[in-house]
Amino acid sequence: HAEGLREPTPCDFEVVKCLGKGSYGQVVLVKHREDDREKTYAMKVLDKEEMVQRQQVEHTMAEKRILQRISHPFIVSLHFAFQTSRKLHLVLDYCAGGELFFHLGRESTFTECRARFYAAEIALALQCLHRMLIIYRDLKPDNILLDAQGHIKLVDFGLSKEGVADDHSAKTLCGTPEYCAPEVVAKKGSGRAADWYALGAIVFEMLIGLPPFYSEDPKAMMIAKREGRLDMPGAVSAVAGGFIQ
């Protein structure tokens, strides 16, 4: 575990409420019984049997490894990690502001000033990962949370890959189609540049309301993405357009 001397147990935490459920676990809001009573955490509780059946063991262990290595203001912190016979528990920062995805869905678009603020913090988080030879590979609004002060934190490192120092070593097709770089889709090998592509796609979406090349037909979207001709709407300033391109 990341803090303290004694191995924690589930009994050390008081469950406040359920924050969400997934295919092989849930996330609950908790308080540490011996900690500052006002401090809350988000605890991922993962079912080991389900993880094995869904082939998620390596993804989960990669996330744990990466978060134990990193301390950065714009990346979620892992405070404790422990297990029981049936469950794995990861105790993380609680981000009271929710997903960027939620705010974008509610407001459709952001001002350029607000988009710039989020983009700068995401860029600093990616820079930290890349310096540690980690590529994120799943940058999307669902994986960007806001803390109580409105700053971003990247979460969910299950698809991240360690030991990548270039732009072609990662061969696996993974991530979310709207934010995947063309080289990822083409299975030509990818790396750090794919994370920067995803950031550009998110900035475009924050300003326009949809990701670049978006289509309800995934095949058409991939073809447009490979051709790479992106028309920049007039509402986007020259500076923002240059950054996205």
pLDDT digit string (tens) for 213-232? 888 888 888 788 777 778 88
CA–CA–CA angle 8, 12, 17 (5° rounding)? 120
Question: Residue with structure tokens 């409420």?
Answer: 17
Question: Residue with structure tokens 């092989």?
Answer: 24
Closest CA to 190 of 135, 127, 152: 135
- Section 89-111 average pLDDT: 96
Rounded to whole angstroms, what are the CA distances from 184 to 139, 149, 163, 211? 13, 34, 18, 17
Task: Give the strand pairing for 87-93 and 134-135.
Answer: unpaired
- Section 164-175 average pLDDT: 69
CATH topology of domain 98-244: Transferase(Phosphotransferase); domain 1 (1.10.510)
Amino acid, res. 43: M
For residue 165, what are its two tokens? 């120092």
Domain boundaries, the chain: 10-93, 98-244
- For CA atoms 178, 180, 181, 183, the dihedral sign is negative
Q: Which of 13-27, 46-60, 121-135, 206-220 has the lowest mean pLDDT?
A: 206-220
For residue 125, what are its two tokens? 């988080």
In this predicted structure, what is the pLDDT of residue 1? 47
As annotated, the binding site for ATP includes 44
Superfamily assignment of 10-93 in CATH? Answer: Phosphorylase Kinase; domain 1 (3.30.200.20)
Report yes or no: 192 and 167 within 8 Å, Cβ to Cβ. Answer: yes
Catalytic residues: 138
- Whether 165 has a pLDDT exceeding 90, the answer reads no
- Section 10-27 average pLDDT: 92
